[in-house]
Amino acid sequence: MTNRLRYLTLLLLTGLFMTGCFRNGANTEGLPVGKRIQLSTVEELYQFLTYDDNRYPLVSLHRGGPATGYPENAVETFAYNASLQPVIVECDVRLSKDSALVLMHDNTLNRTTTGKGPIKAKTLAELKKLRLVDNNKKLTPYKIPTLEEALAWGKGKVIFTLDIKNDVPYEAVINAIRKQRAEASVVVITYSANQAAKIHSLAGDLMISASIRTVDDLSRLNEKDIPDNRLLAFIGTREADTQLTKILHDHGIMCILGTLGNLDKQASKRGFQLYAGFIDRGADILSTDRPTEAGRALNFYIKKRGISSRFVQ
């Protein structure tokens, strides 16, 4: 192959990559395009997600970060967002008729796919015949992924926070994680101390996102003998009291603030730098429906303070 032909081939491949990644014409200005979270072991996951004064603030993609042309809970959507900045991917796990674990927020297919009816009424083969639609009801070429497909793609690229729906056995999710050897890429979301204790008893090495709105919530988790370095704290959808975030940080526990909803709306009106203020006042991870705007603010914050991590390259 001549040098000219190699050059033209490289240009073509680059063009195809950029077309695929930026299908919706996103403005990438101010984003750390190309950087990603790179973790190889579960010990590295503990280290990366343990609070210290140089902690690396992160964006968490609510339902995977849907955008124009990119539906929620789709691997292609995860990949698009991960091409723009380092991300945590929040996604939802449900069960098919034949007990396959698939990614879907709703319990029916109506809103986000070309199908209708309950997910539990369809086999995996039937679900795979459907196509996903984006939040504007635009048809996409993408299909419902299985949990294992997502985990296989995400290793060494992102961290997943898995929202396991009520009828899904924890044991099945843990088996999928083990099968894909994805322990270094996963945090399991729980909503009570009892749920957190159940996950910890089944898989003591997995990290857990626990709802912690008060010091008593933290005490209940401590009473269940869950180590601090296995915990992330979801502190709610409004800013927490600074005393609570200080106590959590003293325990080495990083705080997830849900900006989705009212706080995202505030940032839309007042400017994206509002997201940096949330980090200044105690949040460490922002779970948002506006990941590019939040990402710009966090990238500015990181550069201004000279923050770095060997796990983000």
Q: What residues have CB less than 8 Å from 13, skipping those under 6 apart?
A: none
Q: How many CA atoms lie within 13 A of 202 on its CB side?
A: 18
30 burial via Cβ count (<10 Å: 0-12, 13-18, 19+): middle
- pLDDT per position as a tens digit, 121-174: 999 999 999 999 999 999 999 999 999 999 999 999 999 999 999 999 999 999
Answer yes or no: are the C-beta atoms of 272 and 297 closer than 8 Å: yes
* Residue 310: inside a domain: no
* Residue 251: inside a domain: no
Answer yes or no: are the C-beta atoms of 11 and 18 closer than 8 Å: no
- pLDDT per position as a tens digit, 173-190: 999 999 999 999 999 999
How many domains would you assign to the chain?
1
Query: What pLDDT is stored for residue 172 in this prediction?
Result: 98
* Residue 221: inside a domain: no
* Residue 283: inside a domain: no
* Residue 53: inside a domain: yes
Say how far apart CA 89 and CA 78 lie, in whole Å: 7
- pLDDT per position as a tens digit, 36-81: 999 999 999 999 999 999 999 999 999 999 999 999 999 999 999 9
* Residue 136: inside a domain: yes
* Residue 22: inside a domain: no
Structure tokens at 107: 């319990």
301 — phi, psi (to 5°)? Answer: -60, -45
Q: How confident is the model at residue 201 (pLDDT cuts 50, 70, 90)?
A: very high
* Residue 196: inside a domain: no
Tell me the longest C-alpha to C-alpha distance in the chain.
Answer: 69
Say how far apart CA 288 and CA 261 lie, in whole Å: 8
Q: Containing domain of residue 153, as a range?
A: 33-189
CATH number of the structural domain spanning residue 72: 3.20.20.190
Answer yes or no: are the C-beta atoms of 180 and 110 closer than 8 Å: no
